[in-house]
Amino acid sequence: MTSITTRALLEMKEKGERIVALTCYDALFARLLDACGIDILLVGDSLNQVLAGAPSTLSATLDQMIYHTTMVRRGTEGGRAMVVCDMPFLSYQVSPEDALRNCGRALKETGCHAVKIEGGQPMAATVRRLVDVGIPVMGHIGLTPQSVHALGGYRVQGRDDAAAGRLKADATALQDAGAFAVVLELVPAPLASQITKSLAIPTIGIGAGPACDGQVLVLHDMLGLNDQFSAKFVKKYAALAEDVREAARVFAAEVREGRYPGPEHSFGK
């Protein structure tokens, strides 16, 4: 089984092979997704909302990310998926040296293959510092959730010519700094296509149209587990929230009626 590496991702772009990514936060799902051939498992700081119930990603901590990334990496031992740790707010923005310390800790303690950081041109020097010491970096531009307040909410980015120009410059700056891939989030499809064609490194889209080299979704959204969230770019491939509720209702009824556990679920001497 061939592992997914940064070089493998570049080769996939060169060959026109689409890259498949999903968020993942624990060992069980990691094992299932890896067995299905998912290329990248992103331990997103979205876990702060999806699992912890927080209103945004901003309060996610480095310890939290390391804990969940360690679980995901454990679930992919011997597998092929690349595991990427999303670096949380203020773990890399203070200075390149601070970023080096925190990203290095993430790689060392979790065994992940790469880190992801948000931001374009202002983060280029930080990306270069990390790459120079051997830490693979995935960039992230467009709607960057850690900057949601500065951006005025969860809105599509790059709609006017000036904003589009900045995003193109951001993507180029990240590539020049050594990033091996870049996430494009909530970017108009024509602009995402232009950026994708202009780069030698892969683009991973989320709400950025079909022309990106790969696509990523939040696992719980894709599975229909988080049925309180919907967005235009999210396609739900299952409706597991209702399956969970129904299973729990049946379990509760059987316990209350004395039908569970039955003889087949009980031990004798």
Stretch(es) of the chain classified as CATH 3.20.20.60: 6-238
Question: HEC states along 133-197?
Answer: CCCCEEEEEECCHHHCCCCCCCCCCCCCHHHHHHHHHHHHHHHHHCCCEEEEECCCHHHHHHHHH
Give the whole-number percent of the chain exceeding pLDDT 90: 94
Angle at 174 between CA 120 and CA 91, to 5 degrees: 60
Please answer whether residues 239 and 225 qualify as being in contact, where contact means their C-beta atoms are separated by less than 8 angstroms: no
Q: Which of 209, 265, 216, 207 is nearest to 86 (CA)?
A: 216
Q: Which residue has the tokens 């679980």?
A: 71
| Overall average pLDDT of the 100-104 stretch | 98
Q: pLDDT tens across 14-51, in order? A: 999 999 999 999 999 999 999 999 999 999 999 999 99
pLDDT confidence band for 229 (50 / 70 / 90): confident
Report the pLDDT value the prediction gives residue 269, as an integer from 0 to 100: 78
Virtual CA dihedral for 263, 265, 268, 269, nearest 10 degrees? -170
Fold for domain 6-238? TIM Barrel (3.20.20)
Q: Please write down the long-range contacts of 220-228, taking CB distance under 8 Å and 24 or more positions apart.
A: 220/23, 220/50, 222/22, 226/50
Catalytic annotation, residues: 185
Q: pLDDT tens across 52-87, in order? A: 999 999 999 999 999 999 999 999 999 999 999 999
* Residue 1 pLDDT exceeds 60: no
Q: Which residue has the tokens 């931001």?
A: 119
